[in-house]
Amino acid sequence: MKCTIKTCALIGGLMITNAAWSCSRPDAPVVPDAAQAVTPQMVKAKNDVQAYMKAANDYLGCIRNDRKHNAMVSEMESIAGKFNNAVRDFKQRMASK
């Protein structure tokens, strides 16, 4: 099968476009207020944070810009810290009831 220059350029352009579409920064999940949260909210937050971390790792694998990479890692660390603090505070609140 012969590949003309126009056909090859079109296929290459579509592949690049597809790769760009699949490399999108995930939205950060909302971490609930541990002082007011109930167990189902904390479970949902846990699932949302896990899904976010997976999507963020996928995003890190496809970006080639150091600034974007570092910003994503900083955001991931911030979300993980907020969630871990919320879990700790939630457990303390539940233990004191």
pLDDT digits (tens, 9 = 90+) for 38-78: 999 999 999 999 999 999 999 999 999 999 999 999 999 99
Residue boundaries of the structural domains of the chain: 25-95
46-78 exposure pattern, b = at least 16 Cβ within 10 A, e = fewer: eebbeebbeebeebeeeeeeeeeeeebeeebee
7 pLDDT band, cuts 50/70/90, is low
- State the pLDDT at residue 12: 57
Highest mean pLDDT among 7-11, 12-16, 18-22, 63-67: 63-67
User: At which residue do the structure tokens 């995930």 appear?
Assistant: 26
- State the pLDDT at residue 81: 98
**CA 39 to mean position of chain CA atoms:** 23
17 pLDDT band, cuts 50/70/90, is very low
- The full length of the chain comes to 97
- State the pLDDT at residue 97: 84
